[in-house]
Structure 1
Amino acid sequence: MKKNFVLIILALSFNVAFSQVGINTPNPRGILHTDGQKDNPTSGSSFTPAQQMNDVLITSTGRIGVGTINPAVKVDARNSGNGAIGFGTSSLTASTADEGAVRYNTGMEYSNGNEWLPLLTAQPTVNKVIVIAAKTDNTVKLLNPSALVTTGLQNRASNYLVGWTKAFESNSGNTFNASTGIFTAPRNGVYVASFTTDLAPLAINYTVDPLNPIQIEAIWQLYDNTTGVFATNIVNTVKCVNTMSSNSNGNIDAGSNCTASFYMTTGQRLMPYIWFNLNGLNTAGFSLNNTGGYNNLTIAEQ
């Protein structure tokens, strides 16, 4: 009986004595504390960052510290040394891994419980192109006949919008030629392009003609990566049309806008132009509403 009592006392003493286990350290700061370099202080709670850097610790609350003796989360590897965490590949489905899981499969991915999604952890190697410009004059270029016109826009003609004033351009600053209105893609990618136009009041003066409706078209023309701007160079065309009723005479502005996304390869070119049928008098030229910031252009690389 005495023998059994002694064994119980020894077992309890052993449990108390080893409630904190230190490996290479007599001064463990958690349930399990490993000191890789045996450089921790023998007593006290003051540890330098260098001493903590080679330690691994499990606290009584179930937190793991790698390189730190004060983990703030379940797994904490933040320290003054190499705090990186490596993730391996996994063939588990997202639902099996459950939401919140992270893996590395040719890129960092996380599970939302249904599918693996890419984790965007790095900035692009180049800055994205953004162009902002405004147009404050009536200079346009006509392709047929080819001419630069400064006296106004032409009815029933393709008026290519040139003579922009560049307000901002990121990156190299030379992808958009403000004088020609041509944007050139610096690399393959998706570009979102938008522009707005507004003709000055009194432009609309038309009688009912079912074959020629009153309308204004804002158009983006995508050309190949050569130097020509002819029909043979056109890769894609996107038109945005605004129509007006036949009695839209008087001081009503005729405006339009067009926003489109393009996949462009390096060197391909993008140009904005408008075509309108607003006036049966075939007036020589129409003015843009050049006050109040109505005529603007924005191109953004995605």
Structure 2
Amino acid sequence: MMNKEIHRILLLSMFYGYGGLVSAQTGIGTSNPQGAFHVDGSKDNAAVGTPTATQVANDFIINKTTGFIGVGVLNPQVKLDMRSVATENALGLGVTTMTAAGAGAGAVRYDVIHAPAGAKIEVSDGSVWNKAYVAPQKAVVVVRKVSAQSITQGSATTITNWNVIRDMSSSFNVSNGEFTAPRDGTYTFLLTFNFNSTVINDASRVESQFYNPVSNTVLASVYKTFGQSMTGTSDDAGFTRSTQAGGSSTVTLTLTAGTRVVARLLHNLVTTGSVPLRVTTDSSDPANPDDGFNNLTIIEH
């Protein structure tokens, strides 16, 4: 009987002793665990003290207080925290055919099977898988003309060599004046233009064109007309007077991704020759009286 009692005591001691071991901090690959369970993937942690962020970047840790899991993170702030100093901070999701109800509200999946077609991230609300939508950076272009350019009479001329103020989607080529639609959508173009003062023809006009240089198509055009001018004829009593022709044009176009558009001007202000655009002689001086007359703004809706 005594031997049986001794064996019983020894077994209980071993059990409680084992229970004490599993409740302590456990380390794999490290003799200096920092959590309830700590795996040092590269076995590069120091034997004492707190490992560096670089050393922890390859570790797996279960926080001994919260039970939160850290992958490359010493003190995880959420139930699964992967925000380490390493560059592999990505979460891999696979395809699942589970229903949204079966997966439960808050579940996330990577789907390439179901409509709408195409790879996408979906989130379950408990009843339906909903596609996660990330708003793209919309195109916003603001450019102005600060370099000299003349527009030849009777010939549609593309306005080139713009000075960019803003281009949110890198969609505008300042050299050739081409805007490329980054995606299918609706775009509004606002062009303001102004010519140097000159004696212009009676009943002349300027046409603003929004032109596709690939398909050689005028997508939209706006006319600005100019009435009676003093050109030195008999009805002007032989007098002449310079006139400054200018105006603005606004059009809204539906474009497919990759469509290119340039702004062009076509005029008959003079009988022959060309008329220069009014541009600043000092682009660094916003108070210059010649500044800001020729501008183009493009906005994606």
Partner of 1:196: 192
Partner of 1:210: none
Identity level (%): 22
- The residue type equivalent to 1:22 in the other structure is T
CA contact (8 A) 2:153 2:266 kept: no
Question: For residues 188 and 33 of structure 1, do their structure 2 counterparts lie closer, same or farther at Cα, with a shift above 3 Å needed?
Answer: closer
Partner of 1:142: 154
2:277 counterpart of 1:295: no
CA contact (8 A) 2:151 2:275 kept: no
The separation in 1 between residues aligned to 2:131 and 2:264, in whole angstroms, is 40
Partner of 2:59: 55
CA contact (8 A) 1:220 1:271 kept: yes
Partner of 2:92: 86
Structure 1 residue 116: Cα displacement: 1.5
Partner of 2:130: 115
Partner of 2:162: 166
Task: Name which of 200, 205, 211 aligns with 1:221.
Answer: 211
Structure 1 residue 61: Cα displacement: 0.9
- The residue type equivalent to 1:294 in the other structure is F
The separation in 2 between residues aligned to 1:252 and 1:98, in whole angstroms, is 66
2:143 counterpart of 1:132: yes
2:34 counterpart of 1:29: yes
The separation in 2 between residues aligned to 1:173 and 1:237, in whole angstroms, is 18
Structure 1 residue 296: Cα displacement: 1.8
CA contact (8 A) 2:140 2:300 kept: yes
The separation in 2 between residues aligned to 1:72 and 1:259, in whole angstroms, is 51
Q: Deviations over 1:175-231 (max 9, x none)?
A: 743xxxx6386x98669554223578999x98xxxxxxxx97643132445xxxxxx
CA RMSD after TM alignment: 5.7
How many aligned residue pairs are there?
245
Question: For residues 57 and 130 of structure 1, do their structure 2 counterparts lie closer, same or farther at Cα, with a shift above 3 Å needed?
Answer: same
CA contact (8 A) 2:68 2:78 kept: yes
Stretches of structure 2 lacking an aligned partner (at least 5 in a row): 113-117, 228-242, 279-289
The separation in 1 between residues aligned to 2:220 and 2:246, in whole angstroms, is 19
- The residue type equivalent to 1:255 in the other structure is G
CA contact (8 A) 1:66 1:76 kept: yes
2:115 counterpart of 1:103: no
- The residue type equivalent to 2:211 in the other structure is Q
Q: Secondary structure at the match of 1:18?
A: helix
Partner of 1:150: none
Q: Secondary structure at the match of 2:256?
A: strand
The separation in 1 between residues aligned to 2:159 and 2:57, in whole angstroms, is 62
Q: Secondary structure at the match of 2:132?
A: strand
Q: Deviations over 1:69-128 (max 9, x none)?
A: 33344323314585554332344577866458463757563549572135589x9xxxx9
Q: Deviations over 1:220-276 (max 9, x none)?
A: 132445xxxxxxx42x522457899x9xxxx9986222244433758x663423679
CA contact (8 A) 2:194 2:244 kept: no
CA contact (8 A) 1:20 1:31 kept: yes
Q: TM-score, normalised by structure 1?
A: 0.52
